[in-house]
Amino acid sequence: MPDNTADRPLVVVGAGVMGTAIAALAVGHGHRVILIDRSAEARAAAPDKVELHVRTARMMGALPADRPAGALTTAMGTDAAAGACAVIEAVTEDPEEKAAVLAGLAAAVSPGTPLISNTSGLPIDEMANAVPHPEDLVGVHFMNPAYLITTVEVVLGPRSGDAAAAEVQKLLAGLGREGIVVGDGPGFVTSRLLHRMINDAIEVVHEGRATPETVDRLMRDCIGHRTGPLATADLIGLDNLADSLLVMQARTGSESFRPSELLLEKVRRQELGRKSGRGFYDYEESTR
Q: Which residues contact 132 (CB under 8 A, 6 or more apart)?
A: 106, 111
Q: How far apart are CA 56 and CA 94, in angstroms?
A: 30
Q: What is the pLDDT of residue 194?
A: 96
Q: What is the pLDDT of residue 147?
A: 92
CB atoms within 10 A of CB 76: 12
Domains of the chain: 3-183 (3.40.50.720), 190-283 (1.10.1040.10)
Q: What is the pLDDT of residue 7?
A: 80
Q: What is the pLDDT of residue 161?
A: 98
Question: What are the pLDDT tens digits along the chain (288 aa)?
Answer: 433 455 899 999 999 999 999 999 999 999 999 999 999 999 999 999 999 999 999 999 999 988 899 999 999 999 999 999 999 999 999 999 999 999 999 999 999 999 999 999 999 999 999 999 999 999 999 998 999 999 999 999 999 999 999 999 999 999 999 999 999 999 999 999 999 999 999 999 999 999 999 999 999 999 999 999 999 999 999 999 999 999 999 999 999 999 999 999 999 999 999 999 999 999 976 544
Name the residue type at position 220.
R
3-state secondary structure the chain: CCHHHHHCCEEEECCCHHHHHHHHHHHHCCCCEEEECCCHHHHHHHHHHHHHHHHHHHHCCCCCCCCCCCCEEEECCHHHHCCCCEEEECCCCCHHHHHHHHHHHHHHCCCCCCEEEECCCCCHHHHHCCCCCHHHEEEEECCCCCCCCCEEEEEECCCCCHHHHHHHHHHHHHCCCEEEEEECCCCCCHHHHHHHHHHHHHHHHHCCCCCHHHHHHHHHHHHCCCCCHHHHHHHHCHHHHHHHHHHHHHHHCCHHHCCCHHHHHHHHCCCCEHHHCECCCECHHHHC
Q: How far apart are CA 20 and CA 24, in angstroms?
A: 6
